[in-house]
Amino acid sequence: MKIITIVGARPQFIKAAPVSKTLRTEHEEIIIHTGQHYDANMSDIFFNELKIPRPDYNLEIGSGSHGMMTGRMLEKLEEIYLKEKPDFVLVYGDTNSTLAGALAASKLLIPVIHIEAGLRSFNKAMPEEQNRILTDHISDLLLVPTEDAIKNLTNEGIKKGIHNVGDVMYDAVLMFKEIAKSKSGLLKELDVNSGEYILTTIHRAENTNDINRLRNMIEALNESGEKIILPLHPRTKKFIEGYGLNFNENIKVIDPIGYLEMLMLEENSKMIVTDSGGVQKEAYFMGKPCITMRDETEWVETVACGWNVVVGTDKNKILDNIRNFKPTSIQQAIFGDGNAAQKILNIINERR
């Protein structure tokens, strides 16, 4: 069969690595990169180091308002779909690329496969939440990573096409964890030792667009006194500079890094402080305590089992948990067995 895969942002490149490799053992895959992430450190490096097949099409959409980005993607994707006539369109996660890919396919009656379906933060002010809900309701195969995701879908009246395959990001971690050790020289370069630093990421729009939220986060990190490594998203850097905010000497700010270097920094950290959905999961896979600087999380399982705490952007809560938070249970296999890609292939084959 011919399957079109839509990617556009860092987390989707990572998820595509194990899935594309498995799909291509039996089917023809065409990759369309929307260009939502276009900086070399946020895009090209992932295709190179994860050996993901180069995109067959790059829409080069770039940044812009949600409406502008989604509209341009719809127009260009429809044109490609009509030309390629795929049997399925496969989308990942919750970005504008995901919604545009699914909506353009649905309008042309092309079956949609949504990997990472069923996640909910229950905050519709987040564009990601709107993208998830809309994509789920027009998808034919809803491939979920957890049991809670199934409950979310059934509560919304979605009953057909749901399969719990586990989390493809766990597949990716297992695929690349050992290879990531080749990047261990980064610790020496950053002048830190394993287990003595906190890894932090900040990129969510609701945090970066609000000077008070961003200031609280940075002040908490500054006042923690901990050694902190912060790979800084270009968009976050722009806002920090625009707001006139500064970091103390305990925070080592570095440029965005590739997936292998990120895995290495995660595995050698003592704790992870983030507002990223994907990094929350990677913290769990690596057995690291996680502090989430958001008001809610779609990965509720990590909170329920005591390995993740959601603190919002309250400076005192962030500081208190950096100093005191410890996991409260033994980890469980809540994200599957690391064989999601093969399960996805099997389910697609059943639809021949």
Q: Are strands 112-115 and 141-144 parallel, antiparallel or unpaired?
A: parallel
Contact 34/99 with Cβ under 8 angstroms? no
Going by C-alpha positions, the residue among 135, 100, 95, 130 that lies closest to residue 114 is 135
First to last CA, the chain: 8
Query: Is residue 203 annotated as a catalytic residue, yes or no?
Result: yes
The active-site residue, picked from 33, 37, 203, 233, is 203
DSSP assignment letter at 270: S
Contact 46/14 with Cβ under 8 angstroms? yes
Contact 247/253 with Cβ under 8 angstroms? yes
Burial classification of residue 249, based on how many CB atoms lie within 10 Å of its CB (0-12 exposed, 13-18 middle, 19 or more buried): exposed
Neighbours of 161 (CB within 10 A): 18
Active site (catalytic) residues: 203
